[in-house]
Amino acid sequence: MVLPLSMGWRHLLFENWPVDPAVMDAHLPDGLEPDVYDGSAWLSTVPFTNVAVRPKGLPERLGVRLPELNLRTYVTRDGVPSVYFFSLDAQGLASVVGARLFHHLPYYYARISLELDDGRVRFSSRRRHPGARPVHYEGTYWPSGEPFSAPDDPFGEFLVERYRFYTEAQDGSIRYTDVSHDPWTLYPAAADIEADTLLAAHGFARPDADPVYYYSPGLDVVASRSERAGD
């Protein structure tokens, strides 16, 4: 049994594109349905950093920092709004191996840096995982408006107020993990994305629409152990 994990998610950009639900459905495993807002499924790239990642119950000082880049969408199963991860690129090699083996998460090893400069976040990631398609993502992002509570905003709530995520394991099974945390605080955001091959690496054409950006300073999270979803 793998213990639940405690961590902090910090300096997140939610970069969100509308996608035809039929296109998204073709990329999902059986048993998961695209969740739709304003008639569209949504695909999100999320650069951020984990802090103090550790087994639940251990002090923060024993945790590790793990910069990360995610590609995700929004799904339902049995009526529960959830997140589905296509990929999670991360800096720590040992953490990537552990997440793949014990949490059944599609992690890829990458070289990542996240730096703060005068209220802006500079993020750079290059996937180095053996046998995987290369990915280069680089950009700067920052909050551009006043903060708001995600549950008070219909689209913000759709994107982030989800407390279960799904992945597809190496054996083709569907796995899920539940997470607990306080409600999100979001800011309207702006971004200057200089390079992004993440969508193409996972078979998605870049949408014609401009992305919708939100920033969050982050929150603390507890993630349950991975469970196999029932057939």
Q: Map 85-111 to HEC letters.
A: EEEEEECCHHHHHHHHHHCCCCEEEEE
Whether 100 shows a pLDDT value over 80: the answer reads no
Q: What is the mean pLDDT of residues 189-217?
A: 96
Four-CA torsion 39, 201, 102, 97, nearest 10 degrees: -150
The whole-number pLDDT of residue 91 equals 85
Of the candidates 104, 105, 79, which has an alpha carbon nearest to the alpha carbon of residue 90? 105
Question: Which pLDDT value is given to residue 123?
Answer: 98
Dist. CA 65–CA 53, nearest whole Å: 6
Mean pLDDT for the stretch of residues 14-33 = 97
Q: Residue 188: which domain range?
A: 5-228
Beta bridge partners of 215: 13, 187
pLDDT (mean) for 171-193? 94
Phi, psi angles (nearest 5°) of residue 5: -115, 140
Q: How many domains does the chain have?
A: 1
| Separation of alpha carbons 193 and 123, rounded Å | 9
Tell me the CA distances in angstroms from 89 to 66, 79, 155, 212, one per residue in order: 10, 29, 26, 22
- DSSP-derived letter for residue 209 is S
Q: Which candidate, 124, 129, 117, 5, places its Cα nearest to that of 69? A: 124
The CATH code of the domain that includes 199 is: 2.40.400.10
Whether residue 226 is predicted with pLDDT greater than 90 in this model: the reply is no
Q: What pLDDT is recorded for position 55? A: 86
pTM of this structure: 0.93
